[in-house]
Amino acid sequence: MRFASTLLLALPALALAEEQIPLLEKVKGFFNKATAAVSSAIPAAPSAPINAAANKAAAKAAEAIQHPLTLENWKEVLTVDPTASTPTTQEWLIFVTGGNSTCFGFCGNATKAWNASLPIIAAKPNAPKFAYLDCETENILCNAWSVGAPSLYYFQIPKPLADQSAPVPTVRYRPLNRTSTTTETFKTLIVDNEILKVEPYEGLFHPFNGLLQQYNLAIPYGYATWGFSKMPSWLPMILISFASRSFMGKRMGGPTPPPQGAARPAQ
């Protein structure tokens, strides 16, 4: 009896729900039409391929006016025009970049800003010559100069005199922020000559006149630091552990006993 009464009470509710289904479908259809109308009225955002094409075009334009630096060619590239009259100074602007292992994948923003601003800098009166150094492929040279990515290296290289003597090239080094570097950053530094306010570098890693260059130790140092960077983090700990155990073992063992059969000292 209870089951029959419960069924009788549920029948009106089921009928009411069945009557409301068409109404819900009508409301859903109305909202779908409204959403489609609003979506068609809003202009679409530029697609990613368009941005990629613009970045690719800027990179090609930048490559056309800058020289890649390598361990083998940098001394031949960073020179003064031989046809220029003496005394004269050639300015070189070098953009230092990197990849996943040398820049942890965060150099892309600075590289795009550099490529976009390079034509603007090139239009400056008495613009410098341009080069770039990729620390991802030129690890040894970057370590020999002790530079990190992204950064700018600004060279002022004087032309040698008739007796082949010349003042030491002036170099200025400016690290760049990996996330906040924009075209305005390069404009302020180069077009507005803010980079001239950076103190010239005259230390150990000076590419032309540093002590490492004078004693031909820059390249060996670059190889050594590159080798240490490739060494697993656990290997130095193991080497230190073996060395310390060997040292402590010699101290705790006492003096080495004389071999058997050796003559004893006289009493």
- 3-state helix/strand/coil string of the chain: CHHHHHHHHHHHHHHHHHHHHHHHHHHHHHHHHHHHHHHHHCCCCCCHHHHHHHHHHHHHHHHCCEEECCCCCHHHHCCCCCCCCCCCEEEEEEEEECCHHHHCCCCHHHHHHHHHHHHHHHCCCCCCEEEEEECCCCHHHHHHHCCCCCEEEEEEEECCCCCCCCCCCEEEEEECCCCCCCHHHHHHHHHCCHHHHCCCCCCCCCCCCCHHHHCCCHHHHHHHHHHHHHCCCHHHHHHHHHHHHHHHHHHHHCCCCCCCCCCCCCC
Strand partners, 174: 152
The amino acid at 23: L
The amino acid at 136: E
Q: Regarding the domain delimited by 50-228, which CATH topology (the fold level of the hierarchy) does it fall under? A: Glutaredoxin (3.40.30)
Predicted local confidence at residue 109, as pLDDT: 94
The 10s digit of each residue's pLDDT in 191-200 is 999 999 999 9
CB-based contacts of 105, cutoff 8 Å, min separation 6 = 99
The 10s digit of each residue's pLDDT in 68-98 is 999 999 999 999 987 777 778 999 999 999 9
Instruction: Kindly give the parts of the chain with pLDDT less than 70.
Output: 1-64, 164, 232-236, 239, 242-243, 246-267
Predicted local confidence at residue 88, as pLDDT: 86
Whether 190 and 93 have beta carbons less than 8 Å apart is answered as yes
Predicted local confidence at residue 105, as pLDDT: 87
Give the Cβ contact number of residue 218 at 10 Å: 22
Q: Which two tokens stand for residue 102?
A: 């040398």
Q: What is the pTM of this model?
A: 0.67
Predicted local confidence at residue 253, as pLDDT: 58
The domain locations on the chain are 50-228
What is the 3 state secondary structure string of 19-54?
HHHHHHHHHHHHHHHHHHHHHHHCCCCCCHHHHHHH
Predicted local confidence at residue 10, as pLDDT: 43
Using CA atoms, how far apart are residues 176 and 195, in angstroms rounded to an integer? 12
Count the residues in the chain: 267
Using CA atoms, how far apart are residues 24 and 245, in angstroms rounded to an integer? 81
